[in-house]
Amino acid sequence: MKKNVILLFTLMFSAIMFSENLSYSPTPENLERRKEFADSKLGIFIHWGIYSMMGDGEWVMTNQNIKHKNYSKLAAGFYPSNFDAKEWIEIIKSSGAKYLCFTSRHHDGFSMFHSDYTDYNIVDATPFKRDVLKELAEECHNQNIKLHLYYSHIDWGRDDFPVGSTGQQSGRDKSKENWESYYSFMNNQLSELLKNYGEIGAIWFDGVWDKPDFEWQLEEQYAHIHSIQPQCLIANNHHKEIREGEDFQIFERDLPGQNTAGYSEGQKVSKLPLESCQTMNRTWGYNIVDDDYKSTKDIIHFLIRNVGMGANLLLNVGPGPDGEFPEEAATKLKEIGKWLDKYGDSVYGTTAGVIPPQDWGVTAMKNNAMYVHILSLNENSLSLPIKDIKAINATSLINGENIKFKQDKNGITLFFNEIPTNIDYIVKIEVK
């Protein structure tokens, strides 16, 4: 009996120890990085790969039912003659973005960096022979832009990848599926990414939704990443609840907590930093017929609606096969940057508003200021139901003029001379 009790205690103790071993506690550098990330508000996503040559988005291989042995021939023709990392990062910087998230390897399995673990990479398989990631990493470093790396869990080319719901046309030899081999391949590549390109701001995973019930061994993979670069943030676009070891939460084509695009069902908003990714036109990868660009105003509104929820916008560009940003995308990035140049104070470094987002717009907080972002209002006054905050003064960030207001037990009401019609009419309320 006594022995059994001792055994029971030993088991309970080891269960506690074991769960402690698995639980993730971010390092101080990681927490600092999270804060810096959450303050930065705008990042640029780049989808670029050998698929860009087909001008039909990054899913072209499966959408056009192409076998891997045929698709992989694209590599021998990939020569993006106008690629210039310096120019890319200059354009990104001109948008006011603070980071770049680059597709180091998408679902097609092609590595856009030099890898010792597969020849199917930009240096060994293309006539271009340049490690574009190395060039981008150097420029990011020079121009003070953080580098995040998209990395796909899916691989539509490798035989050892256990096939999921997509890429079934690829013609892989199913008898060669071998998770252990594929898992160590990914971890080896992640080591390369984390050891050969300086400081990495984040690893951005995508693809787990392809086999949602599969054991992807994420916790061990995350621990591997954090063991090399503890400050590196990890995020996973699995469309599910946050998992142990993740440092920020992703929402695809939606504001946090919304599910208009159908990817975020049941995805509750976590307490981690948040990021919402969105395309400028319809597709992520270059699409030669896709001119369906969102207006600069709509992009700014989407950014500001994120800001009101304390979230970042990761805004996508799909450069062409020549290595250049589509002109329309570059123009819009510059327009967004001009706007942020003027009004960035009310955006960068803010946290979510004290009142929830409204049809008319959002609020955001920073130090002793409350920024009211009015995106759409049909009246010349606005009531803010804020009770435990005292307003000292209110100024328009558009023209610097004082805004009339009254404060009573129901909150603060702002009065305007005319109905605000700007892209975003911003009022700074000094509070105490």
Q: Which of 159, 206, 247, 290 binds ligand H79 (CB under 6 A)?
A: 206
Query: Rounded CA gap, 363 and 376, in Å?
Result: 13
For residues 373 and 408, is the Cβ–Cβ distance under 8 A? no
Provide the minimum distance between the beta carbon of 254 and ligand H79 in the complex, in angstroms, as a whole number.
Answer: 12
Q: Please choose, out of 35-43, 90-98, 204-212, 343-351, the segment that lies near ligand H79 by the rule CB under 6 A.
A: 204-212
209 lines the binding site for ligand H79 (CB under 6 A):
yes
4: three-class secondary structure by DSSP: helix
Pick 151 or 183: Cβ nearer ligand H79:
151
Of residues 262 and 385, the one with the C-beta less far from ligand H79 = 262
Which of 131, 192, 210, 246 is close enough to bind ligand H79 by CB under 6 A? 210
Rule CB under 6 A: which of 126-165 touch ligand H79? 165
Which one, 273 or 353, has the nearer CB to ligand H79? 273
- Binding segment (CB under 6 A) for ligand H79, from list 4-12, 30-38, 206-214, 222-230: 206-214
Comparison of 210 and 324: residue with beta carbon closer to ligand H79: 210
Structure tokens at 140: 């990011």
* DSSP code for 222: H
Residue position matching structure tokens 């390109």: 197
- Residue corresponding to tokens 């940057």: 337
173 contacts 70 by C-beta, under 8 angstroms = no
Q: How far is CA 141 from CA 8, 138, 148, in A?
A: 54, 5, 12
Rounded least distance, CB 98 to ligand H79, Å: 19
Q: How far apart are alpha carbons 267 and 269 in whole angstroms?
A: 6
> Which residue matches tokens 């953080």?
146
* Count, residues near ligand H79 per rule CB under 6 A: 12
Minimum distance of ligand H79 from residue 339's CB (angstroms): 25
Token duo for residue 232? 């590196």
Given the complex with ligand H79, which of 209 and 425 has the nearer CB atom?
A: 209
The site string for ligand H79 over 239-258 (x = CB under 6 A, - otherwise) reads: -------------x------
Count CB atoms within 10 A of the CB of residue 125: 19
Looking only at residues 4 through 63 of this chain, which bind ligand H79 when binding is defined by CB under 6 A? Answer: 58-59
Which phi and psi angles does 233 have, rounded to 5°?
A: -80, 145
186, 277, 311, 362: residue in contact with ligand H79 (rule CB under 6 A): 277
Q: Rg of the chain over CA atoms, in angstroms?
A: 24
Task: State in Å, rounded, how far the first CA of the chain is from the last one.
Answer: 65
State in angstroms the smallest separation of the CB of 94 from ligand H79: 23
Give every CB contact of residue 23 below 8 A, 6+ residues apart in sequence: 244
Binding part of the chain for ligand H79, among 31-39, 110-118, 127-135, 205-213 by CB under 6 A, reads: 205-213
Q: Which stretch binds ligand H79 (CB under 6 A): 182-190, 203-211, 357-365, 379-387?
A: 203-211
Return the number of the residue (79 or 263) whose C-beta is nearest ligand H79. Answer: 263
206/424 with CB nearer ligand H79: 206
Query: DSSP letter string over 166-177?
Result: S-GGG---GGG-
Q: Is 224 exposed, middle or buried (0-12, 13-18, 19+ CB in 10 A)?
A: middle
> What whole-number distance in Å separates Cα of residue 363 and Cα of residue 428?
10
Q: Which 158-197 residues touch ligand H79, going by CB under 6 A? A: 165-166
Nearer residue to ligand H79 within complex by CB, 166 or 191: 166
Structure tokens at 54: 């087909």
Q: Please state the closest distance from residue 283 (CB atom) to ligand H79, in A.
A: 8
**Cβ 143 to ligand H79 shortest distance, Å:** 24
Residues lying near ligand H79 in the complex (CB under 6 A): 58-59, 165-166, 206, 209-210, 237, 252, 263, 277, 284
